[in-house]
Amino acid sequence: MINLETISAKVRACQRITPDEALFLFSSGDLLAVGELAALANERRNGKNVYFNVNRHINPTNVCVNRCAFCAFSRTAGEDGAYTMALDEICRRAREADDEGATEVHIVGGLHPDLAFEFYEEALRAIRHTAPSLHVKAFTAVEIEYFSRISGLTIEQVLQRLMAAGLGSMPGGGAEILVEEVRRKICPEKISGERWLEIIRTAHLAGLKTNATMLYGHVENTADRVAHMEMLRTLQDETGGFQAFIPLAFQPENSALKLDITGTSGVDDLKTLAIARIFLDNFDHIKAYWIMLGEKIAQVSLAFGVNDLDGTVVEEKIGHDAGAQTPQALTKEGIIRLIRKADKIPVERDTLYHPIRSF
């Protein structure tokens, strides 16, 4: 019999919960009980420390051949609002980030029909030349697969070439919901969930750390969310290459997904983050992406199992094109204040979670 008491006993005894138990937690009306278990699981791993990093996002192009139904960021080539940065624009942003104390640039973009693979290699080399100490976290599994298609190289060769040019790790985007039935509805042109996992496995085996995201709050149901997390948990058992899990709350404006929804609720956000913390017992870090959640829910999530707050960001396009009402950037001081007021210890980290300084 599954109930809160049996799940609670398991979490307290550091035992793994089953997908059915995670599903039960989603159906539970007792948000605080779920949050308390998540907070316990988190404190065992991370104490009162909450990580943040000083980073800048760069999206070199919004031109994309996939045109996923949920994405308000992408454009078709030649369409109004389509843009592609020149190498020196990408570099200027990286240099600014470096000058302003960032330790990381986070680079993702659309699948451009005309840019060659060498453009991306060149961009990495140019950034390394301009700001050698910046860590470059770049390209989702979806982009890596596209680079392999346009270059004729294998996934391993693409990764080796990018690493030689300066790639340090990979973000977790493109995962959406890994269940095929959901992908058919929200991103039919995108690589399959199975292929996403295969590319991430290859990256982990090549020595790259990655993150994993989950886009929730659209057509999926809670069983899809649990199935998604189970696939990640299984791969993490195998490779240990995931650093953080990042649930992304769907921003519904301007997308082709004609849903009669106003975005996720605060309760759903907190519950999803908390269940992720409990279910993903082999992930060290559960990250709140304040851009999609709002600063206040992101802050409250620190009492619901979250131990990582992303980031200074500086210039955000993907969520804001889809109607996110959050600012474009938080200052380092702003993040420190949010964490302190949640009665936690702010720890600035680098991309690979080495602490730089506690506040």
250 class by beta-carbon count within 10 Å (0-12 exposed, 13-18 middle, 19+ buried): buried
Q: How far is CA 255 from the centre of its chain?
A: 19
Task: Choose which of 60, 294, 319, 346 interacts with ligand V47 (CB under 6 A).
Answer: 319
Told to check if 68 binds ligand SF4 by CB under 6 A, we report yes
129 class by beta-carbon count within 10 Å (0-12 exposed, 13-18 middle, 19+ buried): exposed
Told to check if 255 binds ligand V47 by CB under 6 A, we report yes
Q: Which does 67 bind (CB under 5 to 8 A by kind): ligand V47, ligand SF4, none?
A: ligand SF4
Report the SS3 class of residue 351. coil
What does DSSP say about strands 345-349 and 308-310: parallel, antiparallel, or unpaired? Answer: unpaired
Pair of tokens at residue 40? 């316990």
Tell me how far apart the alpha carbons of residues 313 and 324 are, in angstroms, rounded to a whole number: 14
Task: Choose which of 45, 48, 67, 125 interacts with ligand SF4 (CB under 6 A).
Answer: 67
φ and ψ at 83, to 5 degrees?
-145, 155
Binding residues for ligand V47 restricted to 169-228, rule: CB under 6 A: 171-174, 176, 211, 213, 215
Q: Which does 213 bind (CB under 5 to 8 A by kind): ligand SF4, ligand V47, none?
A: ligand V47
Binding residues for ligand V47 restricted to 61-100, rule: CB under 6 A: 70-72
Task: Choose which of 8, 28, 66, 151 interacts with ligand SF4 (CB under 6 A).
Answer: 66
Report the SS3 class of residue 84. strand
Told to check if 210 binds ligand SF4 by CB under 6 A, we report no
Radius of gyration of the chain (CA): 19
Pair of tokens at residue 179? 């269940």
Residue 139 CB, nearest approach to ligand V47 (Å): 11
Tell me how far apart the alpha carbons of residues 301 and 315 are, in angstroms, rounded to a whole number: 23
Using CB under 6 A, which of the segments 41-49, 165-173, 294-302, 335-343 binds ligand V47?
A: 165-173
Binding residues for ligand SF4 restricted to 103-162, rule: CB under 6 A: 110-111, 142
Instruction: Provide the 10 A C-beta neighbour count for residue 151.
Output: 16
Q: Which does 232 bind (CB under 5 to 8 A by kind): ligand SF4, ligand V47, none?
A: none
Told to check if 191 binds ligand SF4 by CB under 6 A, we report no
Q: Which does 215 bind (CB under 5 to 8 A by kind): ligand V47, ligand SF4, none?
A: ligand V47
Q: Which does 319 bind (CB under 5 to 8 A by kind): ligand V47, ligand SF4, none?
A: ligand V47
Residue 110 or 346 with smaller CB distance to ligand SF4? 110
Pair of tokens at residue 314? 């500086």
Give the start-end residues of each E strand in the chain: 49-52, 55-58, 104-107, 135-138, 210-216, 242-249, 285-289, 308-310, 345-349, 355-358
Task: Choose which of 7, 71, 127, 208 interacts with ligand SF4 (CB under 6 A).
Answer: 71
Residues engaged in binding ligand SF4 (CB under 6 A): 64, 66-68, 71, 73-74, 110-111, 142, 187, 190
Residues engaged in binding ligand V47 (CB under 6 A): 70-72, 108, 140, 171-174, 176, 211, 213, 215, 246, 248, 250-251, 255, 289, 292, 310, 318-319, 322
